[in-house]
């Protein structure tokens, strides 16, 4: 679980966010193959670290859906 070198590719376990390696391999916790970290993984980790915007967005969507259904 070493930190990736600057400019190098990082590999992470989809199930264990603390597992991070500089080379492909398997997760020491679950045995899953490590996947290359991409921007989508980084965005997902960022969103899960602070779920408040997701909760607010879901609440707004529910209110809008109810309002749209009541207009019929």
For the chain, give every domain's residue range: 11-70
pLDDT tens, 30-72? 999 998 887 566 777 777 888 898 899 999 999 999 999 999 7
Count of CB atoms situated within 10 Å of the CB of 17: 13
Q: Distance of CA 43 to CAs 25, 37, 40, Å? A: 23, 10, 5
CA-based nearest residue to 19, from 38, 9, 7, 34: 34
The pLDDT-based confidence of 4 (bands split at 50, 70, 90) is very low
């Amino acid at each position: 679980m070493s930190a990736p070198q600057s400019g190098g590719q990082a590999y992470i376990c989809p199930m264990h966010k603390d597992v991070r390696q500089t080379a492909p391999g398997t997760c020491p916790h679950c045995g899953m193959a490590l996947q290359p970290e991409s921007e989508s993984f980084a965005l997902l980790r960022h969103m899960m670290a602070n779920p408040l915007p997701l909760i607010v967005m879901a609440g707004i969507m529910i209110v809008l859906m109810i309002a749209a259904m009541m207009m019929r």
